Amino acid sequence: MVDGGLEVEAFVLAGIAALVLIGAAVWYRGRSAPFDELEATLESRLEEALPAGRGTHLERPPRVRRIDVLDRDERGERSTAVAPVVRIDLETADTPGSELVFDYVAAVLEALHPELEDREASVARYDLEFAVGPDGLLVEGERRRVTVPPAFADRLLEEETYRAFDLRRDLERDDEANGTATVWGEPRR
């Protein structure tokens, strides 16, 4: 009799757990569904602006890995903002120079930022992940991240004299001051 009661309790608990998992999946899918179209649009803008091939260091056009949805800003206040995560695969065996990296950072921002502004999307940051070196079954290439706050993207697009070099300099200063920028850091998981 005691064993039968435990089986019923286990069955009820398993049912509750299944309902919670299904509810979480539906909630997550509902949150990410509006961004599927945005992700596809950003992806096509990247393909147009930065095609791979002859004369570039790109293995393939940059692609949007995901769009993170953040519920809180840096001050901890409740707000919804997006953080596009873009992967850039370079056909270099060694770590590229900062000039090359920031030319690509500027080009990606010039492709994505206007689209996000047109949609009036609140952007928390841009995470650009660079993949360098051989990547295969036995060897893993290096992966590094450059995080750009939207204020720097605004400046890049609005000021004609503000270019990739200026962006790099300002991001390095912000990174050293423990701001929101990251220059050549570890990728976010």
Segment 6-50, tens digit of pLDDT: 677 877 888 888 888 887 766 665 555 567 899 999 999 999 999
Beta strands in 16-141 (DSSP E): 63-72, 78-89, 126-132
127 phi and psi, to 5 degrees? -105, 115
Instruction: Name residues whose C-beta falls within 8 Å of residue 91's C-beta, 6 or more positions apart in sequence.
Output: 57, 58, 59
70-126 pLDDT tens trace: 876 556 666 788 999 999 999 888 888 999 999 999 999 999 999 999 888 889 999
- Whether residue 7 contacts residue 88, with contact meaning beta carbons closer than 8 Å, is answered with no
Give the pTM: 0.78
